Amino acid sequence: MASYWHVIKSLVRQPDSQLVCFNNSNFKILPSDQQIEEEAYDNISKGRYYPVRIGDAIKERYQVVGKLGYGLGSTVWLANELRRNHVVLKVFTNDLQNREEINVNNHLMNVQSKHPGREHIRVALDAFSMQGPNGEHHCLVYEPMLESAQELLRRNPSDISGFNILLGIGDKSILQKFVEAEKKSPSPRKDVRGYTVYASRAFDSPSGRSIGTPILSDFGSAVSGEVEHDEDVQPNVYRAPEIWDLFEGKHLFYGSDPKEEKYMTRAHLADMIALMGPPPPELLKVGKRTAEFFNKDGGWIAEVPVPARTSLEESEENLQGSNKEAFLQFIRKMVQWRPEDRQTASQLLEDDWLNDRS
């Protein structure tokens, strides 16, 4: 198997006149007892990550020039599309746990739309699979973006946050500076059972014209809108109203179950009751799971207590005076038990607070 893999590796590193030379061996070798990045997961020991190395030319088209990040189900790399532009490679693990994200991106790549929001959705430029030493790996190719709004704000503090909002790159020189930095000062790394773990490198801090259009990304939990859903369609506490998380930097409802010590629907409902009061009887009558949480009279029967009554005024921590009042009026247009009482997205876009008319 080892000799077979060396043959495969030789096929993804064909010489090309456009390849960047990474021959600087002056890189820091991290100590074996210093755990970094994807090493924190057991996917390395299980052989689930594809062994990407800086300098590799994948599919004879994309040369890896540096590591941008990692996650439980993938690693992310900046690459040169040979003879063309910089791209980002998202290389998935071989266990298919991110299959839904791949399916959604394949769907988006084939959708022809003139909707004005299309330019704010991150759609893959290319998709392919490749054979690793322990199975097949899927890869999505994207236009490079700056870090998420959350990471940018960590480096440049503000009073909002966002995890799945990436920022476009207005000044493309940031990309070449990244490559030059990798050539001059190679990323620290370590060997873990034959797999090289690199420390990720960040782009230079952007400013002014360097920051481009905000883009929505990461569709691993997306669901189709072409069918009716009566199940949870958002991951745990990342549910409406998302604007609260974005602006306040915290959740409105945590749903942390004190008995099970994890997120559970009953704890989420209890949090909602503490803020909004009990749901109206007509809503309970049509709920498919009402009997799990309420008796016939609408009383709470779940095995977790409803927290002490709270309010939006107590929860909001960033604003004061009339600005705070206008923001909470905006939030209340969304935080309603009955769907028909909630404003639509189009209506919310006309809100005075959102348009700075308050």
Amino acid at 150: Q
- Give the tokens for residue 274: 């503490």
Largest CA distance in the chain: 76
β-sheet with 74-81: strand ranges across? 57-58, 62-71, 74-81, 86-92, 135-142, 126-132
* H runs (alpha helix) in the chain: 2-11, 99-110, 149-155, 173-184, 242-248, 265-276, 281-286, 290-293, 312-315, 321-332, 345-348
Q: Which amino acid is at 294?
A: F
Rg (CA), the chain: 24
Q: Nearest Cα to 218, choosing from 43, 86, 358, 90?
A: 90
Catalytic residue among 171, 218, 230, 352: 171
Half-sphere exposure of 24 (CA within 13 A, CB side): 17
User: What is the distance between the alpha carbons of residues 344 and 339, in angstroms, rounded to a whole number?
Assistant: 10
- By the 8 A CB rule, do 219 and 55 touch? no
Burial of 81 (0-12, 13-18, 19+ CB in 10 A): middle
Q: Is residue 56 annotated as part of the catalytic site, yes or no?
A: no
Nearest-angstrom CA–CA distance, 271 and 249 = 18
Active site residues: 171
